[in-house]
Every structure is written in C-alpha cells, then in structure tokens.
C-alpha cells in the first residue's frame, strides 16, 4: 500500500468516526432540548461540572452538527478524491482552529472582558427563564447544588427576576447558608459565591488536565489540516507511491 492510499484510508476512517460521533452528539442535543430535566437526572451524577454550567442541549446540537459536516466533507472528499471537498474541509477546520486560539487569548488575557460577555448572555436567562423554563431551572439547580454557588455573579442576579417576583421577593435557597427564608438580608449575609468564580476556581485547580485536552484537540486539528492538504496536493499527480 502506497503512502497516498494509506493516508486516504486513514482520512476516511477518522472522518467516518467523526461523522458518527457528531450524529450521536446531535441526537443527545435534540433529546436534551426536548426533555432537559430527564437528561440531568440520568447523567447528573457523572456529568462534568463545567458542562452543567452551559445550556447542554444547544451546545450538543451545534457541536454535533459541525462534526457531522466535517466528517462528511473529510470522508467524501478523501473517498471521491474531490479537491473541492478537501479544501472546504481544510478551511472549516482552519476557521475553528483560529476561533479556538482567539477565544483562548481572550479568556487568558482579557478575562474580565470574557466574564462581561458571559454575564451579558447568562444574566437575562436567569432573570427571565429561571423558575419558568423546566430545563433552564433544572440545569441551574444542579449547577448551584453541585458547585455550592448562587447565580452567575451572586444572589443579585435574581433581583427583580421572574423567580423573585413569583416567590414573595425571595431568592433560591442555594443563595443562603441558613435554612430560613432566603430573603435579601439572608442572601447578603450568607455571601455565597457566584457560579462563574466557582467554575473558574475549578478550572484553575485542573489547569493541567484542561491544558492537555486543549493541546490534544489542537494537535488533532493541525494533523487533520495537514492530511487534507497532503491529499489535495497529491490528487492531481495521482502519486500513490
């Protein structure tokens, strides 16, 4: 078996796996979006604390769809020896790689800016949907219970919220250390930390693991780009040796 044929077969098998994994993730995302509470109950004890912090359903749908598209382009591009599909695969992986590097730089160098962006997205969800939407409420209850935290920043995220107005101007019990009614005075004196800071502390404690996973993903993306470009350049010459 020549070098070109070997690389082509590996490209097909790898992207077939990516396609199947993306399809499975897409299915999970649709399930979570339809019935998020049951999903939390099923995997709550083994799920990552970091994954509980985001809307898992939409996250899985987006990532799954991207993986399905990439797997299809890579697999079909290699099988059919299509320069167009291979170049499209390369461009999409390159865009994802650049976006990941940019996000990492923003998170590390401009952490306060990244926090502001997250706060602008998360706080309206807490104010408008917590206590109203079952999936949002379930995910946040699990998050606050597991991380021993309250809201994104602190208890003030629930001030003037739907939950606050429907529960006699009280806050979720997670925001208070005592078992008494969690009103503003009790929440203020409890000083329960926000979930963002708790999550940030967890990431710092596991920096080596997080860094290793990130480095591994980047290495796979670079390898995928290199292989797709190798096949792209070799197709015209039909050099299988």
Q: Which domain covers residue 152, as residue numbers?
A: 113-198
| pLDDT, tens digit only, all 241 positions of the chain | 578 888 888 888 888 988 898 888 888 778 766 765 555 555 554 444 434 444 566 777 888 888 899 999 999 988 888 889 999 999 999 998 998 888 777 766 666 666 677 778 788 888 888 988 887 888 888 888 888 889 888 899 898 899 999 888 899 999 998 777 899 889 998 888 888 888 777 777 776 776 787 788 888 889 889 999 888 888 876 544 4
Do residues 126 and 73 both lie within one domain? no
Do residues 122 and 153 both lie within one domain? yes
Backbone angles phi, psi at 46, to 5 degrees: -115, -5
The rounded distance, in Å, linking the Cα atoms of 72 and 86 is 10
Contact call for residues 53 and 195 (beta carbons, < 8 A): yes
The answer as to whether 184 is a domain residue is: yes
Residue 11 CA, chain-centre distance (Å), reads: 26
Residue 126 CA, chain-centre distance (Å), reads: 19
The rounded distance, in Å, linking the Cα atoms of 155 and 226 is 49
Do residues 98 and 182 both lie within one domain? no
The answer as to whether 204 is a domain residue is: no
Do residues 161 and 230 both lie within one domain? no
Do residues 135 and 50 both lie within one domain? no
The answer as to whether 241 is a domain residue is: no
Do residues 7 and 84 both lie within one domain? yes
Angle of helix 207-235 relative to helix 83-109, nearest 10 degrees, comes to: 160
Do residues 104 and 10 both lie within one domain? yes
Do residues 72 and 23 both lie within one domain? yes
Contact call for residues 137 and 125 (beta carbons, < 8 A): no
The answer as to whether 120 is a domain residue is: yes
Given this model, what pLDDT does residue 162 score? Answer: 92
Do residues 151 and 185 both lie within one domain? yes
Do residues 73 and 136 both lie within one domain? no
Do residues 11 and 125 both lie within one domain? no
The answer as to whether 91 is a domain residue is: yes
CATH of the domain at 159: 1.10.1450
Given this model, what pLDDT does residue 90 score? Answer: 92
The rounded distance, in Å, linking the Cα atoms of 218 and 102 is 13
The answer as to whether 165 is a domain residue is: yes
Do residues 150 and 103 both lie within one domain? no
Instruction: Give me the number of domains the chain comprises.
Output: 2
The answer as to whether 240 is a domain residue is: no
pTM of structure: 0.60
The answer as to whether 133 is a domain residue is: yes
């Amino acid at each position: 078996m020549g070098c070109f044929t070997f690389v082509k077969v590996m490209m097909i098998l790898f992207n077939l796996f990516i396609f199947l994994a993306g399809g499975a993730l897409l299915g999970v995302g649709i399930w979570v979006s339809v019935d998020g509470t049951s999903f939390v109950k099923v995997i709550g004890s083994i799920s990552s604390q970091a994954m509980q912090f985001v809307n898992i359903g939409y996250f899985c749908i987006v990532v799954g769809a991207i993986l399905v598209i990439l797997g299809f382009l890579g697999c079909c591009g290699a099988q059919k020896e299509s320069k167009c599909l291979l170049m499209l695969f390369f461009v999409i992986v390159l865009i994802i790689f650049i976006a990941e590097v940019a996000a990492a730089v923003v998170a590390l160098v401009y952490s306060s800016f990244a926090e502001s962006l997250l706060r602008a997205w998360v706080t309206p969800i807490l104010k408008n949907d917590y206590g109203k939407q079952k999936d949002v409420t379930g995910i946040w209850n699990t998050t606050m219970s597991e991380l021993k935290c309250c809201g994104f920043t602190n208890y003030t995220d629930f001030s003037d919220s739907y939950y606050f107005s429907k529960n006699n101007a009280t806050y979720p019990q997670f925001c208070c250390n005592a078992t008494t009614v969690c009103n503003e005075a009790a929440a203020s004196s409890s000083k329960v930390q926000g979930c963002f800071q708790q999550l940030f502390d967890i990431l710092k404690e596991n920096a080596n693991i997080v860094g290793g996973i990130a480095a591994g993903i980047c290495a796979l993306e670079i390898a995928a780009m290199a292989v797709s470009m190798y096949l792209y350049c070799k197709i015209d010459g039909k050099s299988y040796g």
